[in-house]
Chain A
Amino acid sequence: MRSFNDPRKAKIGAMVLLGVIGLLLLLPFIPLQASAEEAPKAAAATEKKVEKAKDVYYKGPGEFGIVSGPPAPKLKYPDDYGTYGTFQSRTLIWVADQQHLYFGSFVLAVPMFVFVMELIGIMQKDKALAKKYDDLAHEFMKISLTAYSITAILGGILIFTFLALYPGFFGYLAKIFKPVMHIYALLFILESGILYIYYYGWDAMNDRNGLWKWVHLSISLLLNTVGLVLMYFANTWVAFMQSPAGVDAEGRFLGDIWKVIHTPLWIPIVIHRVLGNAAFGGGVVAAYAAYRFLAAKTPQEKAHYDWMSYTAMFMGVLALIPLPFAGYWLMREVYAYRQQMGITLMGGLLAWVFIMQATMISVLFITVNYYLWQAMGRIPGGERYYRFFKYMLLVLVVATISWLTPHTLVMTPAELKAMGGAQHPVVGNYGVMSTKNTAVNTMIVTTILCFIMYQRCNKQITVKWGWIGNVILAAMFVGAEINIVFLGIYGFFIPANVRIGLSVPQVLSTLTCLFAGVTLNTMMLKGGRPIGEIRWGTMSVRGAYALFCLAVSFTWTMAVMGYIRSSVRLHWHINEIMRDNSPWAFTNPIGYAGNINSMNVLIFWTMLLFVFWLGSLSAKHAPVEETETVGVGKATIPAGGH
């Protein structure tokens, strides 16, 4: 835009825009302020008939609160439930919920990557590279924009499904969350506004590294903030359903909305979901890039999408690595909240679903490693590491088998009798958390090692202390693995309540390898002699398919874990407060749950293919402009670009 060239006008314009958005941020909280002023008057008027009741969760000084709402209704079937023909209402809401969640997660995750990409672009000194990152961020955002509309449509469908099938339950939940419901709606409007300004203002605000570009980046930060707050809000409902607080045993609201929001499992669920969304978003964008990579006609296009798929995969994996630890923390909090709930999850009814999850996560880690091995094929010098792949695969497979070993088996009564219990006399001893924790940490350490090799592929280390660095790395990794295995074995000799704490030092060993190992490796590579340029665009087709496998595994894992988290409430809509009295209050057999999850994955990917196709329609021109590079063999990204 021409007017942006005048620095004074640009400055004023930028300030006004940021100011308006800042004021908009305050908008959702205005009604709250008003109600806060009215609250004392209302309290004074009803002072005489104040009834106090005990909070179901909070203890101590705030244990008792003024009853401020009706009790949770006792629902009856069919009066309080709706049906569509002979379909199971629960399955319908399950599908509606899952689809909304998939797209919601995706549109929440992508702006996080876009922010990082745009920032990297701004920080780059090399102009061509800066533009590449900027274009990449823009392209990420374009995919997200179509998905955003679909998310909104699916959100609408979800609400209608709730109103039609679970009116009694939804009415109660709406009453409890009444003081903050409008904030969610207003934030959603704000999110849309910021998103459109951000996306459509991309080129208009692009004055290289000038003020407008920074304003644009700030808008990205705002977009992410609002997106996260929206997600925090949405999670208050599920957390309240699983571990209610701020109400009494009858479900009467006790007047403090913060307690209803801040239930014991809220923050652990949020953290786990943010990381999960980021990993999932990275996987989906990597799959999009892999799809474009396979469909690309020119070497330039192939190089661009090869690079894009690697970048997206890398971001996804960055979130994947801490994800199991966030999961363990969530489980720890579940145990702290209700031990029985933890046992139902890990050792009872749903334990076999966790075995399914273990399979999926093993697939994820093996696929990431496989992709990196394939990707090393495009890096000169990578062949030095080929001989290690088979050993790494061996470690990954052994870890997978250890993780999959069940503690108890599903058997017929005759089989049960023949074996003398649900626990296998030999194998049963090993299907415990000590082994599983050891397995997952080993897999992560192996993946980190694989990444370190990938980083080194095309560099000859030239720093004088290179050999010392190598020995330190070896000691660090061998030491960590010995410690992980030692703690795993030690866990068999101590009581379960002490054993559960062992996962923390195991994790710290892994994290040491991640942070100290990768940092040391990066330092060693400084000033290294390049063996050759990365041949972007020459990755094997199998590598691209590995990315599809990765993305679908993420999707499936999300479906399985969502099912576990939701069904652990058993026959409760809201745990211990509101019973599910519909005919579908039972826990599904694993086979049925598996089928519905697979169907959800299929529906999501069908819709996503539509989004990808739309993306390719509007991007018929090749995004790579550095056509002076010679064919495929020359990379448009410097060797150190990874």
Chain B
Amino acid sequence: MANQDVNDVGLGKKVGLFLVLMVVAFGYYYFLDWVMMGPMQNLPFPYK
């Protein structure tokens, strides 16, 4: 398996994982947006 080509995995599996990870990525980026526009605004640094 050491020489396994990354393209050997089926497209369905890749797309499936991609969709799951997109949800995770959205969650992560949205969390960043929320933190930066919400709680971080009340801190004295670095925004004041």
Give the chain A neighbours of B25 by CB distance below 8 A.
Answer: 475-476, 478-480
Question: Which residue on B lies nearest to A478, using beta carbons?
Answer: B22
| B17 engages A468 (CB within 8 Å) | yes
Per-position binary interface string of chain A over residues 185-227, scored 1 when its CB falls under 8 Å from any chain B CB and 0 otherwise: 0000000000000000000000000000000000000000000
Give the chain B neighbours of A471 by CB distance below 8 A.
Answer: 14, 17-18, 21
Question: Which residue on A lies nearest to B35, using beta carbons?
Answer: A505
Give the chain B neighbours of A474 by CB distance below 8 A.
Answer: 18, 21
What separation, in Å, do the CA atoms of A468 and B32 have in the docked complex? 24
Interface size on B, residues (CB 8 A): 29
| A466 engages B18 (CB within 8 Å) | no
| A470 engages B32 (CB within 8 Å) | no
Give the chain B neighbours of A508 by CB distance below 8 A.
Answer: 32, 36
Q: Which of B1-26 contact A (CB under 8 A)?
A: 1-9, 13-14, 17-18, 21-22, 24-26
Give the chain B neighbours of A478 by CB distance below 8 A.
Answer: 22, 25
Q: Which of A463-505 contact B (CB under 8 A)?
A: 464, 466-468, 470-472, 474-476, 478-480, 482-483, 487, 498, 501-502, 504-505
| B28 engages A504 (CB within 8 Å) | no
- How many Å from the CB of B38 to the closest CB on chain A? 10
| B9 engages A479 (CB within 8 Å) | no
Interface size on A, residues (CB 8 A): 29
What separation, in Å, do the CA atoms of A483 and B34 have in the docked complex? 12
What separation, in Å, do the CA atoms of A112 and B42 have in the docked complex? 36
Q: Say yes or no: is A460 at the interface (Cβ < 8 Å to chain B).
A: yes
Q: For chain A, what secondary structure do more than half of its interface residues adopt (helix, strand, loop), or is it mixed?
A: helix
What separation, in Å, do the CA atoms of A501 and B18 have in the docked complex? 30
Q: Say yes or no: is A616 at the interface (Cβ < 8 Å to chain B).
A: no
Q: Out of A462, A464, A479, A498, which one reaches B26, CB within 8 Å?
A: A479
What separation, in Å, do the CA atoms of A5 and B30 have in the docked complex? 61
Q: Out of A329, A468, A476, A504, which one reaches B36, CB within 8 Å?
A: A504
| A462 engages B2 (CB within 8 Å) | yes
Give the chain B neighbours of A461 by CB distance below 8 A.
Answer: 6
What separation, in Å, do the CA atoms of A475 and B29 have in the docked complex? 11
Q: Say yes or no: is A529 at the interface (Cβ < 8 Å to chain B).
A: yes
- How many Å from the CB of B17 to the closest CB on chain A? 5
Q: Say yes or no: is B37 at the interface (Cβ < 8 Å to chain A).
A: yes
Question: Which residue on B lies nearest to A502, using beta carbons?
Answer: B37
- How many Å from the CB of A365 to the closest CB on chain B? 22
Q: Out of B3, B5, B21, which one reaches A472, CB within 8 Å?
A: B21
- How many Å from the CB of B45 to the closest CB on chain A? 12
| A475 engages B9 (CB within 8 Å) | no
Chain A residues in the interface with B (C-beta under 8 A):
329, 460-462, 464, 466-468, 470-472, 474-476, 478-480, 482-483, 487, 498, 501-502, 504-505, 508-509, 512, 529
Chain B residues in the interface with A (C-beta under 8 A):
1-9, 13-14, 17-18, 21-22, 24-26, 28-30, 32-33, 36-37, 40-41, 46-47
List 25 A-B pairs, Cβ < 8 Å: A460-B5, A461-B6, A466-B4, A467-B14, A468-B17, A471-B18, A474-B18, A474-B21, A475-B22, A475-B25, A476-B25, A478-B25, A479-B25, A480-B25, A480-B29, A482-B26, A482-B29, A483-B26, A483-B29, A483-B30, A504-B40, A505-B29, A505-B36, A508-B32, A529-B3
Q: When A and B form their complex, which 5 residue pairs have the shortest distance between CB atoms, in order from nearest?
A: A479-B25, A475-B21, A466-B6, A483-B29, A505-B33
Not counting A466-B6, A498-B37, a sample of 4 additional A-B residue pairs whose C-beta atoms are within 8 angstroms of each other reads A472-B21, A504-B40, A505-B33, A509-B29
